Amino acid sequence: MQKRKLGKSNLEVSAMGLGCMGMSFSYGAPKDVPEMISLIRAAVDRGVTFFDTAEVYGPFTNEELVGEALAPVRDRVVIATKFGFNTKGDSRPGAQNLDSRPGHIKEVAEASLKRMRTDVIDLFYQHRVDPEVPIEDVAGAVKDLIVQGKVRHFGLSEAGVKTIRRANAVQPVTALQSEYSLWWRKPEAEVIPTLEELGIGLVPYSPLGKGFLTGKMDENTKLASNDFRSTLPRFTPEAMKVNQAVVDLLNAMAKRKNATPAQIALAWLLAQKAWIVPIPGTTKLSRLEENIGAVDVELTADDLREIESAASKIDIEGARYPEKLEQLTGR
């Protein structure tokens, strides 16, 4: 597995990480814990060293799962988790119960350390920007945790450029986690240039469009009521029918490269910048191996120009989130 450094930090991780949220949360019922432990360990065996979780996934159960799975190999892996919600209320990400008060951040860190069976959090993200707490106070709280040896690196998620700059001035930001893929390219306008200027890595979540870019979904796909995607405008049958054009583009390139649409989508992300590390999630070994295989798919400059030309002619249908959730991003 190739390695990459997140920005100008010394945090080196596998070029492909593993998002663990869907094992416990959001995509239907929680999966079998022993099976997911086996899957996470299979990822380690195949060279993955970067694992993503959060307090609110479950809540709590995903951190426990990741901690148990990685305990035997803790010195070989990087674990990222997140703070920023008050889980005593409505704990769904997107509920308006944000809480990034410094005292709460430190409480979350202590609890996460216990759940993950570790003495240090490698990368601690603010899950969503809390407009009630100055970002300087947030960065200062994480800086204190870094000084205490409880956290190694500070991250932000879905933050706007002004917030990124203000936070970075107090405590250098190692990585920004935000949605980025061939069907969500908004970060290219302002965020990615800012990250490049400041030397901050980008960790794209949903790099496969929450499963749509794999080519395994279409307008006839029926999503269960407990599947988060059933609430998203981009996953209505009408939107999926229109957005099939993106999958067709990926399919055409995949055939030429002897790859899959998912691998082309991930290879495209890896080709954008050397400091981009996607974290596709999966609950299946076959998909894990497929995603890892994207690291070896080479897209030439001509390939990338061809994808760009075709993608520029496609108008994506549907917002990525309902308005209430979208309001929590870009602050």
pLDDT in tens, 212-221: 999 999 999 9
Instruction: Identify the band that residue 323 occupies on the pLDDT scale cut at 50, 70 and 90.
Output: very high
User: Does the bond joining 59 to the residue before it have cis omega, within 30 degrees of 0?
Assistant: yes
**What is the Cα–Cα distance from 304 to 308, expressed in whole angstroms?**
6
pLDDT of residue 28 exceeding 90, the answer is no
**pLDDT category of residue 138 using cuts at 50, 70 and 90:** very high
The pLDDT of 119-133, averaged and rounded, is 97
Cα–Cα distance between 74 and 52 in angstroms, integer?
A: 14
**What value does the mean pLDDT of the chain take?**
95
- Class of the domain covering 3-326: alpha beta
Beta carbons of 136 and 166 less than 8 angstroms apart: yes
DSSP symbols for 55-103 = TTTTTTHHHHHHHHHHGGGGGG-EEEEEE-B-TTS--SBTBS-B---HH
Q: Which two tokens stand for residue 122?
A: 């490698």
What pLDDT score was predicted for residue 195? 98
Q: Which of 27, 57, 180, 205 is catalytic?
A: 57
Query: In residues, how long is the chain?
Result: 331
The CA distance from 87 to 99, in Å, is 9
pLDDT tens profile 32-43: 999 999 999 999
| pTM as predicted | 0.96
CA–CA separation, 58 and 88 (whole Å): 13
Q: Is 27 a catalytic residue?
A: no
